[in-house]
Amino acid sequence: MSLFDHQIIPLPLADNNQQSELVFWPNWLSKQQADSFLETSIQSIPWRHDHIKMFGKQVPVPRLQNWFADHSNTSYTYSGICMQAVKFPQWMAELADSVAEQTNYPFNRALVNYYRNGNDSVDWHADDEPELGEDPIIASISLGVERVFQLRHNSTGEVVSLPLPHGSLLLMGSRIQHFYQHRLAKVKNMQQERVNFTFRYMNNNLDKSSYQ
């Protein structure tokens, strides 16, 4: 993939003087690579179907997911779900390394989501759990059917919408998690599936969930 095959999308932060950016590689993987990662993910990931407590009831999360890391003695907790990490299989460790090489950021964790159809989704949130450190940098790979990813500024409410095609890579740059939330909305009458990897970094020495 050529270094120049990307788009830089500036995102305002607190005021007009401060901005960050999304870096977007729409065709980061070839169709053949993307097809192969999609099939491997769906077939070989031990998908979890977690439930969260809402209004005193256990509600199924509207997607399947799992949490991967460079070692298995670590976990990740969000919305009351604690996921013990699965160690990166070789292919996912290599994918994390390729993303690191492309973006110049290190990655040693991945939250992987499986959207079985348009009824699966992820609601507005920021990837800002304390385990991710002060300034989480997130790299997202999309596989399968194209879905629209949205970011919404916390104070202005301005929304940026970006369709994420099969094989694309999106980097959410510095401080975006402080100023924006993001989501993947439901889509009516869509039967096709999608898998998304969000690669993240946790300092293994500061990771309190790590007991190795």
Ligand X SMILES: O=C(O)CCC(=O)C(=O)O
Minimal distance, residue 38 CB to ligand X, in Å = 13
Minimal distance, residue 76 CB to Mn ion, in Å = 12
User: Helix crossing, 90-103 with 31-44: angle to 10°?
Assistant: 140
The correct pick among 74, 75, 113, 177 for binding ligand X (CB under 6 A) is: 113
> Long-range contacts: 126-129, Cβ < 8 Å, 24+?
126/177, 126/178, 126/180, 126/181, 126/182, 127/172, 127/177, 127/182, 127/198, 127/200, 128/177, 128/178, 129/76, 129/77, 129/78
Q: Tell me: does residue 200 bind ligand X (CB under 6 A).
A: no
Residues 73-112 that bind ligand X (CB under 6 A): 111
Q: Which is nearer to ligand X, 56 or 168 (CB)?
A: 168
The correct pick among 64, 184, 199, 207 for binding ligand X (CB under 6 A) is: 184
Q: Which is nearer to ligand X, 136 or 207 (CB)?
A: 136
The correct pick among 25, 76, 149, 201 for binding ligand X (CB under 6 A) is: 149
The correct pick among 50, 127, 131, 193 for binding Mn ion (CB under 5 A) is: 127
Q: Distance between CA 136 and CA 130 in Å, rounded?
A: 9
- The per-residue DSSP string of 157-200 comes to --EEEEEE-TTEEEEE-TTHHHHEEEEE---TT----EEEEEEE
The correct pick among 92, 122, 139, 141 for binding ligand X (CB under 6 A) is: 122
CA 101 to chain centre: 17
- Give the one entry of Mn ion, ligand X, none that residue 50 binds, where binding means its C-beta sits below a cut-off of 5 to 8 angstroms depending on kind: none
Per CB under 6 A, residues contacting ligand X are 111, 113, 122, 127, 140, 149, 164, 182, 184, 196, 198
Q: Enumerate binding residues for Mn ion (CB under 5 A).
A: 127
